[in-house]
Structure 1
């Protein structure tokens, strides 16, 4: 497989920097038994981390738009538990590339077709954020917008807390390169998921039982109705739920976190650089992250959350995926004008 480790830069007549792979340097030893077939214009690469392990990257180059003089920031997508790079590649990578953004979807270690580290779990907030930072530092030539879903949003929050104070430079004292912005999509709030669990136990005990059975006991992997209720809207077609259920089951061969160690590292520290723009995006029908969790994240970053009606937790895969994508696109347009 091609690698994204040795790169050449190509400047087109409109001064947009592009990244293309130059050499075949690495490959993952793991192949999903239920593969995600890449869409037209997408390519799969493997970024070699300092540990020697390879991280899967699905790339889709942005199409040139009418306003070709504008340099749109690259978008880097980080998935949550039971998912991998494919969850972004299904709908959102084609959408945002059509709107002129170079898109990179990562599979965290132990997920998707990335290599697995030694141990029982894939890593920690610190190690996952460091892997994302290494990818951005070595492969991305201008400050990207970093987008994270669910527990991936918590990783993005930890990354944001460790970006240095200097503005718009690639090298930072904490080794987390500068960002053009951050998007938290149905994200676990800065305090973690314990508040969500306790609220469910007291206010929605049946829902609490279902979500615990679905996620902690992984019952979503064998029950189609429970998978649908956990991640998708009621209007989602069963054949699509079944397809994603198989991909989720195959993607997550080891837990993303040790939850006890994760809780010990929370809450996430605040950002040092308050100039980085943040979008907090939620879903009205989210079965996992409730309205208070969404509002907590908004308060932490001093922004008003955007809550999309008629869509569930897997906002990028749900039948109304375009609603969330359009909300992010509108926010990106404001971000570009601000620059």
Structure 2
């Protein structure tokens, strides 16, 4: 596959699954043509998180911009086997899709998707560069989970309800406090939460375990971007990821975890653009 959109927003993944790949072609093609972008979502989400703001924004900058729904997410197949899905399965999905690009894409992973990108880099994924955006750090999410348990136990309960009962049981006001620093209009918040879903329990458990992808260092340029007011991937965690990759992190001022969906999403998009400009 080139950097053009696939027909019907479907693409072959690993294990015989068909995955959802949405995107927008570059509206202002650059010369020389830029590498395509491939966005990877975090837990409880899908490709849809990028569709509202980031895909059209980066298409307007001259990038062919794509977003992948990992197996069991969005409109991708595999929902029936989500309970037994691991992070390695997500990595295999990403590697399978990236391999179908004629020009190695720039991978942009958010939260859990950032760790999936990091893991894929250590196993020779077809990529020209990567941006880890509010990404789960190599230390795992154990320290952050403990912090949330002590500082905001109601949020832990809401995550349990989302995982076990589904989004209709979640209190949007409680969850938006954790993921937004600059929340969008209430109607959009409800729309976003209506599209959220349960996550693989195995994958969530793996997120708590430290992961040190030593062989990823030096393979491709990596940029690290953090959200200044992120209550999930805390600033020190972003700094740890940046230290591991030997780079200085970029910061989105005033932003929360779900920076691509916030009212001030443009500020995050501009920081990601700045980061991309340093990756060659």
Q: TM above 0.5, one fold?
A: yes
Structure 2 match to 1:136: 98
* Equivalent in 257, 260, 279 of residue 205 of structure 2: 260
Aligned length: 276
Q: CA deviation at 1:242?
A: 1.1
Q: Please give the per-residue CA displacement for 1:49-73, whole angstroms capped at 9, x wherever unaligned.
A: 24221110102111234xx322201
Q: Please give the per-residue CA displacement for 1:127-154, whole angstroms capped at 9, x wherever unaligned.
A: 111111111112x111111011111111
Say yes or no: does 1:236 pair with 2:184.
Answer: yes
Structure 1 match to 2:257: 313
Label 1:259 to 1:21 Cα distance change in 2 as closer, same or farther (>3 A). Answer: closer
Corresponding residue SS for 2:137: coil
Say yes or no: does 1:160 pair with 2:121.
Answer: yes
Higher helix proportion = 2
Structure 2 match to 1:296: 240
* Equivalent in 38, 43, 52 of residue 90 of structure 1: 52
Q: Which has the larger radius of gyration?
A: 1
Q: CA deviation at 1:262?
A: 5.0
Q: Please give the per-residue CA displacement for 1:101-144, whole angstroms capped at 9, x wherever unaligned.
A: 01110011111111125545262221111111111112x11111
Contact 2:118 2:216 in 1 (8 A): no
Structure 2 match to 1:332: 276
Label 1:53 to 1:71 Cα distance change in 2 as closer, same or farther (>3 A). Answer: same
Q: TM-score, normalised by structure 1?
A: 0.75
Cα distance in 2 for residues equivalent to 1:120 and 1:330: 36
Q: CA deviation at 1:235?
A: 4.6
Structure 2 match to 1:111: 73
Cα distance in 1 for residues equivalent to 2:84 and 2:108: 20
Map of 1:31-180 to 2, 5 A cutoff?
44-65=8-29, 68-116=30-78, 118-121=80-83, 123-138=85-100, 140-163=101-124, 176-177=125-126, 179-180=127-128
Label 1:108 to 1:275 Cα distance change in 2 as closer, same or farther (>3 A). Answer: closer
- Superposition RMSD on alpha carbons, in Å? 2.2
Label 1:293 to 1:20 Cα distance change in 2 as closer, same or farther (>3 A). Answer: closer
Contact 2:21 2:47 in 1 (8 A): yes
Runs (5+) with no aligned partner, structure 1: 1-6, 10-17, 23-43, 164-175
Q: Please give the per-residue CA displacement for 1:232-260, whole angstroms capped at 9, x wherever unaligned.
A: 12553212211111111xxx255264433
Structure 2 match to 1:41: none
Cα distance in 2 for residues equivalent to 1:20 and 1:259: 31
Cα distance in 1 for residues equivalent to 2:199 and 2:137: 23
Corresponding residue SS for 1:191: coil
Q: CA deviation at 1:200?
A: 4.1
